């Protein structure tokens, strides 16, 4: 029986389960989740033959909030002395793939399997290429995922590049820039990679643009904006890194980020303030409907309970405010790899029939 294997941040398995149950019901496909706390993966089983694949095709991966990566396939029990043959047999029943990704859960147990996956990677890829089940020249073919739950328990599945994360396990390989004043800088960089197509960066993250960073200190997110040669208003009662102030591109305003009003509209609003998600979503809606920004990335810090429902309420609040203001916008939300107890929301104004800038 085929099923969906869903990667996520450890501890958010129940959020993935709630999200998938709601979405599968909306699509009219029966299914149920199998979860284990802290496993960093969720199984979503569709009892009817072919329904797991149909559900994957009907859902837009970019609309999934808590799912980091996914694949559709089957589980295998393999002997320790020959893991490759069962994988080859499973691949014979699936589509031709363009590439092979060996994966584990993003947990300590998963990391302990790294030596095994590294040892198996080359001979498995050679065997799959020889049998023509992996053909690198077929760039439009799906990726083959081989997920190791243990040395004897594997999941063999497939995902399609246009409807999945572009990285194995949904984890981008980003490094903290030495010049950045905090590790939080990666949150904004990953958000750009996830929400903005790379060929649009020069237009949508252009030099000379203006931006406001709410809750900026010490400047991890401001550093990313400055690195794109933007002019930044950094709002925080705390001190900013001296290197950023010396750049000449940053104006530091000592104020409460939620109370700040820009003197004139900016292209970008970014915010990583630690506060209730409802307060952050209300602030985001205010900036968008009053014409203070054209594009925004805001993190919603999540409570310990009802996190999925809290996120959906925040997104509904923003959407309702935009609808009332007759503003058409794209809204996306994701728990990124660099996020912790939070999700990242991205909004871009597309059209405003009666767009007025208010103070």
pLDDT at 305: 87
Sign of CA dihedral 232, 236, 237, 243: negative
Q: What is the DSSP letter of 286?
A: H
CA–CA distance, 45 with 50 (Å, rounded to integer): 11
Sign of CA dihedral 111, 76, 169, 69: negative
DSSP, collapsed to helix, strand or coil, labels residue 327 as strand
Q: Is residue 39 within 8 Å of 13, Cβ to Cβ?
A: yes
By the 10 Å C-beta count (0-12 exposed, 13-18 middle, 19+ buried), 203 is classed as exposed
What dihedral do alpha carbons 222, 224, 228, 234 form, nearest 10°? -10
pLDDT at 205: 98
Listed residue (19, 44, 30, 34) closest to 157, CA to CA:
44
Q: What's this model's pTM, rounded to 2 decimal places?
A: 0.93
pLDDT at 1: 62
> DSSP alpha helices (H): ranges in the chain?
13-26, 51-58, 84-91, 108-111, 114-130, 185-195, 201-204, 220-227, 242-245, 277-289, 307-324
Integer CA distances (angstroms), 177 to 60, 104, 184, 223, 331, in order: 32, 27, 11, 10, 29
CB-based burial, 313-329: b 16+ in 10 Å, e otherwise: ebbebbeebbeebebeb
Assigned token pair, 192: 């750009």
Q: Active-site residue among 111, 301, 334, 356?
A: 301
pLDDT at 356: 53
What is the edge-to-edge ordering of all strands in the sheet holding 293-301? 250-253, 231-235, 210-214, 266-271, 293-301, 342-352, 327-334
What's the pLDDT tens digit per position in 40-57? 999 999 999 999 999 999
pLDDT at 35: 97
CA–CA distance, 219 with 216 (Å, rounded to integer): 5
Q: Is residue 252 within 8 Å of 245, Cβ to Cβ?
A: yes
What's the pLDDT tens digit per position in 13-39? 999 999 999 999 999 999 999 999 999
- Across the chain, which has 359 residues, the per-10-residue mean pLDDT values are 93 98 97 97 96 97 97 97 96 96 97 96 96 94 97 97 95 94 96 96 97 97 98 97 97 97 97 96 98 98 92 98 96 97 97 57
Integer CA distances (angstroms), 242 to 180, 209, 239, 272, 333, in order: 11, 22, 9, 20, 32
Is 27 considered catalytic here?
no
């Amino acid at each position: 029986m085929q099923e969906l294997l869903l990667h996520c941040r450890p501890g958010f398995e129940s959020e993935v389960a709630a999200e998938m149950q709601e979405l599968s019901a909306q699509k009219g496909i029966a299914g149920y989740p199998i979860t284990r706390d802290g496993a960093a993966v969720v199984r979503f089983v569709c009892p009817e033959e072919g329904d797991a694949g149909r559900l994957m095709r009907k859902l837009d991966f970019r609309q999934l909030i808590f799912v980091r990566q996914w694949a559709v396939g089957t589980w295998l029990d393999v002997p320790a002395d020959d893991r490759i043959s069962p994988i080859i047999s499973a691949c014979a029943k699936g589509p031709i793939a363009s590439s092979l990704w060996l994966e584990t859960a993003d947990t300590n147990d998963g990391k302990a399997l790294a030596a095994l996956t590294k040892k198996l990677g080359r001979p498995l890829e050679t065997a799959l290429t020889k049998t023509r089940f992996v053909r690198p020249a077929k760039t439009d073919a799906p990726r083959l995922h081989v997920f190791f739950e243990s040395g004897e328990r594997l999941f063999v599945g497939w995902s399609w590049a246009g409807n999945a994360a572009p990285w194995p396990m949904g984890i981008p390989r980003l490094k903290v820039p030495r010049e950045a004043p905090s590790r939080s800088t990666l949150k904004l960089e990953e958000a750009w990679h996830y929400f903005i197509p790379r060929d649009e960066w020069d237009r949508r993250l252009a030099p000379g643009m203006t931006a406001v960073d709410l809750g900026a200190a010490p400047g991890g997110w401001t550093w990313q904006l400055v690195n794109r040669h933007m002019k930044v208003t950094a709002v925080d009662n705390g001190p900013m890194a001296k290197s950023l102030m010396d750049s000449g591109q940053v104006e530091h305003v000592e104020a409460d980020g939620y109370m700040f009003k820009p003197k004139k509209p900016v292209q970008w609003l970014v915010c990583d303030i630690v506060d209730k998600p409802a307060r952050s979503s209300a602030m985001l809606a205010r900036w968008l409907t009053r014409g203070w920004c054209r594009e925004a990335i805001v993190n919603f810090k999540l409570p310990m309970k009802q996190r999925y429902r809290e996120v959906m309420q925040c997104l509904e609040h923003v959407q309702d405010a935009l609808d009332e203001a007759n503003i058409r916008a794209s809204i996306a939300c994701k728990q990124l790899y660099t996020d912790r107890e939070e999700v990242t929301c991205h909004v871009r104004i597309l059209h405003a029939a009666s767009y007025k800038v208010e103070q």
